[in-house]
Structure 1
Amino acid sequence: MAVKVLVVDDSGFFRRRVSEILSADPNIQVVGTATNGREAIDQALALKPDVITMDYEMPMMDGITAVRHIMQRCPTPVLMFSSLTHEGARVTLDALDAGAVDYLPKNFEEISRNPDKVRQLLCEKVHTISRSNRRYSGFSAPGNSPAAAPSAHASSAPVAPSRPAHTAASAAPKRKSYKLVAIGTSTGGPVALQRVLTQLPGSFPAPLVLIQHMPAAFTKAFAERLDKLCKIRVKEAEDGDLLRPGLALLAPGGKQMMIDGRGSVKILPGDERLNYKPCVDITFGSAAKSFNDKVLAVVLTGMGADGREGARLLKQSGSQVWAQDEASCVIYGMPMAIVKANLADAVYGLDDIGRHLVEACS
């Protein structure tokens, strides 16, 4: 059955172009378009699409407000279009916090210069986030009423309730003097990381590194956002930064982050041969080499299998690997790869991971 898509944008050119690209895929059906946020809400209620593509800046009602209303009234996976700027990053993070699943850069030049690449990426994103639809059905964010803006200190994204944390694979966390906590994630990661990291006390005893698939223009804004919300410190990693307890270093977009045995961070150019920049496997692998069995790695929501091979190296060194459970993932791809490869020492719901990190590292 074809994925039904509603395209929302105030630009007639962009609506037509996105509709043409999606309609060229025989497994996608564009069921409607809208020119502003209010039309988007009406169309979402009437057409019940599987996915909505959403612009931010529109007349009458902006995209973030529209997402908030849609998540309250008819929760639907939303793919945001955003500009690759610091302001675009801030807006996109607000949209994800409001309930959007994923985002794509809105780049007219790229569409003209490389239409095949854009077509493949857009259709892949739509197909992938359509599969998250069942996780949104019937769920809405606590306190996320259409009349009220979400709190700046709490995620308003609707997330399915976690399954009980203690599954067959999930014993109590193993307490240890870890030299590093490494967290890797992709789609759904910005909200998931916020949920985990805001549970950690400022006195958290271990250093952290964060690897989130994200464009170069976004990671600084994301680190700043997390730093404001969390008790621990969060910053975008720079070459030569030192690992410190209670400090989380976020891998910069478009580059690779490695750890050496002295606890120093190396930031390297993104290798064009690698699909992900930053890549979870690269950072996990360097952590395994540097700290052997003193690493606690966590793989959160995301599509694909990045992190699996790095986790394998960590397990071979004696370190611990956790995976987020399927019920609380936006996209159960990266954690599933860990579980299927029998690399997970524990599988926890999203809202339990922060608490267990505190227990394990205390």
Structure 2
Amino acid sequence: MPTPRESKLRVLIVDDSSFMRMAIRGVLSRAPNVEIVGIASDGVEGVEKALALKPDLITMDVEMPRLDGISALKQIMAKQPTRVLMVSTLTCEGAKATFEALEAGAVDYVSKNVSDSKDAQSTFQGELLSKVREASVSAVPKKALGIERPRIVRPAEVRPSRFAHRKIGFVGIGASTGGPVALQEVISRIPVNFPHGIVVAIHMPKAFTGPYADRLNARCSLSIREAADGDIVRGGEVLIAPGGRHTAIVRQGNNLVVRTSPTTEHPQYIYIPSVDHLITTMSEASNGAMLGVILTGMGNDGLKGMKHLKGKGGVTLVQNEETSTIYGMPRACIEGGVADVVLPLEQIGFEIGKIGS
């Protein structure tokens, strides 16, 4: 969020629940450098106030009367692109709506988890402040972020893989804020006959990773599903690390196998599921014969894993600043000297797809 010398972050709250409006306002009003400039009780009023007040950030409920949050979001993005943080329920339906909102231009989402429980209230407050802080430094959307189908590449455009002379048998990918849309862009450009197994760690709650994997599977040519204990990492398949736990990759005979564990077993990792843990264990299990990829996200999760991978002789690729929603995770790898290749988002999937072809 802005420093004390900067102007305050101007926030508009849009929610049909008076309880949620009060809860969000209560949390953000106590945050330094945040100013609540308006409150709206439905999507119609939300669009009107967004256009009139021109806030820096909008918190937007999904389910509202007159005009739902996604429809309101699309109108705002068409008329006056603004950073929007969706407020979503921790359900399968909430997950589906959230991913639709992210594709329509929302920066991120926060889980609606407020009850009489002090633990639940504390969790919600912490997540809301964290997500607002992250959203405040994200790129302002220029337009709705619909996913295009992979374009046809003419033979003259096809260049040899940058990793043609490197031994690569597996791919590990990490992402956070902006990651759901970015990962779909990457995976959608990898051909169905891709010979290497892919494992992904993306910071998501438990209720979201399954529906997200199903959504990707319906939209991409590769086979994609949520990972489970004992799954073998196979060519042509993408495994999404389950939310709420940490995922490691271990060697079992000739195979690389998924092992999940409770977060209490790895208290050193702040982000869940941990990208560092996934890439570190995967580089060990593959003896460095893998490509590590870091996409958009806040913080530096993935840096330690990529360092470990480089130490094992593996290769690394990160998203560039211009196409990152938040440049934190890629920048940490670049500044840490562990990025072999830096590419814009639209080229990453193509580059991965050329490995082993």
Q: Name the TM-score, length of structure 1 as normaliser.
A: 0.88
Q: Give the drift of 1:360.
A: 3.1
**Paired residue for 2:213?**
223
Aligned partner letter, 2:162: P
2:98 touches 2:109 (CA, 8 Å); kept in 1?
Answer: yes
Specify which of 60, 71, 90 is matched with residue 84 of structure 1: 90
* 2: CA distance, partners of 1:74 / 1:361: 44
* 2: CA distance, partners of 1:172 / 1:132: 31
1:324 is aligned to 2:319? yes
**Paired residue for 2:144?**
141
1:111 touches 1:118 (CA, 8 Å); kept in 2?
Answer: no
| Residues 102-138 of structure 1, C-alpha deviations (whole Å, 9 max, x = no match) | 11111221775454553343223212211124x42xx
**Paired residue for 2:173?**
183
> In the comparison of the two structures, how many residue pairs are matched?
335
3-state secondary structure, aligned to 1:283? helix
**Paired residue for 1:308?**
303
2:247 touches 2:259 (CA, 8 Å); kept in 1?
Answer: yes
**Paired residue for 2:99?**
93
| Residues 120-178 of structure 1, C-alpha deviations (whole Å, 9 max, x = no match) | 43223212211124x42xx2138xxxxxxx6xx749xxxxxxxxxxxxxxx96212442
Q: Give the drift of 1:5.
A: 0.2
Q: 1:252-267 alignment to 2 at 5 Å?
A: 252-261=242-251, 262-267=255-260
Specify which of 22, 25, 33 is matched with residue 27 of structure 1: 33
1:110 touches 1:118 (CA, 8 Å); kept in 2?
Answer: no
Aligned partner letter, 2:239: L
CA RMSD of aligned residues (A): 1.8
1:179/1:114 CA distance change after superposition, 3 Å: same
Q: Give the drift of 1:19.
A: 1.2
Q: Percent identity?
A: 42
3-state secondary structure, aligned to 1:355? helix
* 1: CA distance, partners of 2:351 / 2:24: 43
2:113 touches 2:121 (CA, 8 Å); kept in 1?
Answer: no
2:114 touches 2:120 (CA, 8 Å); kept in 1?
Answer: no
Q: 1:23-172 alignment to 2 at 5 Å?
A: 23-109=29-115, 112-113=118-119, 115-133=121-139, 135-136=140-141, 139-141=142-144, 154=148
| Residues 298-328 of structure 1, C-alpha deviations (whole Å, 9 max, x = no match) | 0000111110001000000010111100110
* 1: CA distance, partners of 2:337 / 2:293: 14
* 1: CA distance, partners of 2:33 / 2:260: 40
1:111/1:69 CA distance change after superposition, 3 Å: farther
Aligned partner letter, 1:22: L
1:38/1:111 CA distance change after superposition, 3 Å: farther
* 1: CA distance, partners of 2:120 / 2:216: 34
1:17 is aligned to 2:17? no
**Paired residue for 2:287?**
292
Aligned partner letter, 1:87: E
Specify which of 163, 167, 190 is matched with residue 174 of structure 1: 163
1:177 touches 1:361 (CA, 8 Å); kept in 2?
Answer: no
Q: Name the TM-score, length of structure 2 as normaliser.
A: 0.89
* 1: CA distance, partners of 2:194 / 2:247: 22
* 1: CA distance, partners of 2:294 / 2:178: 12
- Extract unaligned runs of 5+ from structure 2: 1-6, 150-159
Aligned partner letter, 2:283: A
1:343 is aligned to 2:338? yes
**Paired residue for 1:199?**
189
1:196/1:112 CA distance change after superposition, 3 Å: same
| Residues 155-204 of structure 1, C-alpha deviations (whole Å, 9 max, x = no match) | 9xxxxxxxxxxxxxxx9621244211110001111000000000111101
- Extract unaligned runs of 5+ from structure 1: 143-149, 156-170
1:297 touches 1:320 (CA, 8 Å); kept in 2?
Answer: yes
| Residues 36-94 of structure 1, C-alpha deviations (whole Å, 9 max, x = no match) | 11111111111111100000110011001111111111111111111111111111111
* 2: CA distance, partners of 1:118 / 1:108: 6
* 1: CA distance, partners of 2:217 / 2:72: 27
Q: Which moved more, 1:267-276 or 1:111-120?
A: 111-120
